[in-house]
Amino acid sequence: MKLAELQALLYRLITAPGGVAEGLVAERGLPPGGLEELIVGDARMAARERVAIYADAYFYRLLEVLREDYAATLAVVGETAFHNLVTGYLAAYPPTARVIQEAGRALPDYLRRHPLNEARPYLAELAAFERALSEVFQAADGPALEAAALGAVAPHAWGALRLRTHPAVRVLRCEWKVAETYRSYERGEGVVAAARGRHELLISRKDDRVFYRELEAGEGDALRLAMGGTTFGAMCEVIAAARGDAEVAAVISRLLGSWIAAGVLSADAPA
């Protein structure tokens, strides 16, 4: 058997959702003598049992990574349901990236169509929130915009001032208050079910620590605009349109101050 065929066969057996024995029953790529014709078995362990060691290692190594990446989601559904969730997930989204931390990237998408999300409709959003926390934690570095840099901007130049969000910034649209569920998990208070409530979350990083907070009206649209690079004037317009109150100038000034304090804007402005 060629090396490529041998490796493909072992891959199928190791990742068979029902285990190696079940995988062998379904396997069509075996030689006439079966697995023992390829792999040495002995009195201590049959060839099938030896492959099963790798099958166990594959599943439990990835389960451990996903347990860590989605700790609050795990706390909500419990060990058994999470184990079964990961079994289905790995069959639907087998890891392709070299970095194992990427193995759980699609779990939020998988959860959206999963029965667990029917019983707890906030679950996929909670997982997406946890994934965003991980992404922000290891997002690209870069200098954040500081207040001193804005001091030199002439009054007439503010509207055309180019701004962009820092690479370690995510904005999530949510239908459920999943940050409260996560906070209850973090505090060890026992996870509380998320209440329904449309809102947006800002996730950002400062001094290597990840922070999150609920956004005010118009703030999410403004920051989304700034993700591709925009002008301060355009950001003001979307905030003004969303709020429509007389105090919009004061609101924008306050929001700009909070973004700078949290390192949300990049010092590398787009051209």
Partner 1 sequence: MGVTAPARAARSLKMDGWGSGGLGAGVGLRREHYGYVLENRPAVGWFEVISENFMVEGGRPLRVLEQVRADYPVVLHGVAMSLGASEPLDLDYLRGLARLAQRCEPAWLSDHLCWTGAGGRNLHDLLPLPFTAATVKHVAARIAQAQEVLGRRLVIENISSYLQYRESEMTEWEFVREVAAAADCGILLDINNIYVNACNHGFAAREYIAQMPRERVVQFHLAGHRDCGSYLLDTHDQPICPEVWRLFEYAVARIGPVATLIERDDNLPEFPELLREVEAARVRLAAAGGAGG
Binding site for partner 1 (CB under 8 A): 1-4, 6-8, 10-11, 14-15, 37-40, 44-45, 47, 49-51, 53-54, 57-58, 61-62, 94-101, 103, 137-142, 167-168, 205, 208
Q: Give 225's contacts (C-beta < 8 A, 6+ positions apart).
A: 234, 235, 238
In whole angstroms, how large is the CA radius of gyration of the chain? 25
Please state the closest distance from residue 7 (CB atom) to partner 1, in A.
4
Give 43 or 154: the residue with its C-beta nearer to partner 1: 43
Give 32 or 78: the residue with its C-beta nearer to partner 1: 32
Q: In whole angstroms, what is the distance from residue 74 CA to residue 67 CA?
A: 7
Please state the closest distance from residue 97 (CB atom) to partner 1, in A.
7
Strand bridging mode 169-176 / 196-206: antiparallel
Please state the closest distance from residue 261 (CB atom) to partner 1, in A.
19
Give 118 or 208: the residue with its C-beta nearer to partner 1: 208
Give 139 or 242: the residue with its C-beta nearer to partner 1: 139
The residue assigned the tokens 């301060």 is 232
Please state the closest distance from residue 11 (CB atom) to partner 1, in A.
4
Please state the closest distance from residue 65 (CB atom) to partner 1, in A.
8
The residue assigned the tokens 């993700």 is 227
Q: Nearest-CA neighbor of 222 among 211, 206, 238, 233?
A: 238
* 115-133: burial string, b at 16+ Cβ within 10 Å, e else: ebbeebebbbbbbbbbbbb
Q: Which helix (H) or strand (E) holds 77?
A: helix 71-77
* 200-239: burial string, b at 16+ Cβ within 10 Å, e else: bbbbbbeeeebebeebbebbbbbbbbbeeebbbeebbbbb
Give 47 or 128: the residue with its C-beta nearer to partner 1: 47
Please state the closest distance from residue 209 (CB atom) to partner 1, in A.
8
Please state the closest distance from residue 179 (CB atom) to partner 1, in A.
20
Give 50 or 112: the residue with its C-beta nearer to partner 1: 50
Q: Nearest-CA neighbor of 108 among 61, 176, 60, 19?
A: 176
Give 98 or 198: the residue with its C-beta nearer to partner 1: 98
